[in-house]
Amino acid sequence: MKKITLIFLIFSGILQAQQKPNIIFILTDDQSYDLLAVQETP
């Protein structure tokens, strides 16, 4: 019975980890569009 409980806890943890969204939050200070290299500016 202990093995079944352990297996259930492991699989429920794996399933719970897959449901989390992938969110990246980047916070910068004093940055404008002309400072980014994606605008092809040095």
pLDDT by 10s per residue, the chain, length 42: 778 888 877 777 766 655 666 788 888 888 777 677 665 655
User: Which pLDDT score is estimated for 18?
Assistant: 59
By the 8 A CB rule, do 30 and 36 touch? no
Range of the domain at 13: 2-39
Number of folded domains in the chain? 1
By the 8 A CB rule, do 23 and 16 touch? no
- pTM for the model: 0.34
User: Which pLDDT score is estimated for 19?
Assistant: 60
| 3-class SS of residue 42 | coil
